[in-house]
């Protein structure tokens, strides 16, 4: 199916060979082919490209996840005598009739958080427990080991901030507006505003939200 032929809806769209375990998908979400997603919540309008591997994550709305991205890669117990998973997948090898459930529980608790309106570039790796703030961009091939502030652009290994998308005043305005929480009808009504200059957008809608708050 060509990308232009895709029509999203309230029901998530799953492409071929997708495996989901303990995962919740919001409305208008799209999961690329050969994705494995486990213990994850992906909110409305977010999508992933092909061959993504996502574990133990909370992904906001309108997140753009390119192909071959790895979010929340699980660790081996490097403090033990052996790194090998026979030490916690003992049933697989016949060493015990049960696995190390405490280890699995601890590993699943390291939640990676991806904010709203984020862009995770091709082949990036986001480590367990990291938070990528709203509006942030992670460059292709980056390995993110530390939290990324809202609207920052990070690249490299390990990923470092090279700049911010907008001045701080604009970032604060966008965070007040929180357009990603607008309803479907509101976004549709204001669609032209998303194609205008950022300064016009924030000037119009920051004031609009302040006015709405006043009359509430």
3-class SS at 9? Answer: coil
- DSSP letter at 40 equals E
**Cross-strand pairs, 152:** 164
DSSP letters, 127-188, are -TT-EE-TT-EE-TT-EE-S-B-TTEEEETTTTEEEEESS-HHHHHHHHHH-GGGS-HHHHH
Read off the DSSP letter of residue 197.
-
Tokens standing for residue 96: 């015990």
Is 205 a known active-site residue? no
The half-sphere exposure of 210 on its side-chain side, counting CA atoms within 13 A, is: 9
d(CA 99, CA 13): 34
List the catalytic residue out of 76, 84, 85, 205: 76
Q: Which residues are catalytic?
A: 76
């Amino acid at each position: 199916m060509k990308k232009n032929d895709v029509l999203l809806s309230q029901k998530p769209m799953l492409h071929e060979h997708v495996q989901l375990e303990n995962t919740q998908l919001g409305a208008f979400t799209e999961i690329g082919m050969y994705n494995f997603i486990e213990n994850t919540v992906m909110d409305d309008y977010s999508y992933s490209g092909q061959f993504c591997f996502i574990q133990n994550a909370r992904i906001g709305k309108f997140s753009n996840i390119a192909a071959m991205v790895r979010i929340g890669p699980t660790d081996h117990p490097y403090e033990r005598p052996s790194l090998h998973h026979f030490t916690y997948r003992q049933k697989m090898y016949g060493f015990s009739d049960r696995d190390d459930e405490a280890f699995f529980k601890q590993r699943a608790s390291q939640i990676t958080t991806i904010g709203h309106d984020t862009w995770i570039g091709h082949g990036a790796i986001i480590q367990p427990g990291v938070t990528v703030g709203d509006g942030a961009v992670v460059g292709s091939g980056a390995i993110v080991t530390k939290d990324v502030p809202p609207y920052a652009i990070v690249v490299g290994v390990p990923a470092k901030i090279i700049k911010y998308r907008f001045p701080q005043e604009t970032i604060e305005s966008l965070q007040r507006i929180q357009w990603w929480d607008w309803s479907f009808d509101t976004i549709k009504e204001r669609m032209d505003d998303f194609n205008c200059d950022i300064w016009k957008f924030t000037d119009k809608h920051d004031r609009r939200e302040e006015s709405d708050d006043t009359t509430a």
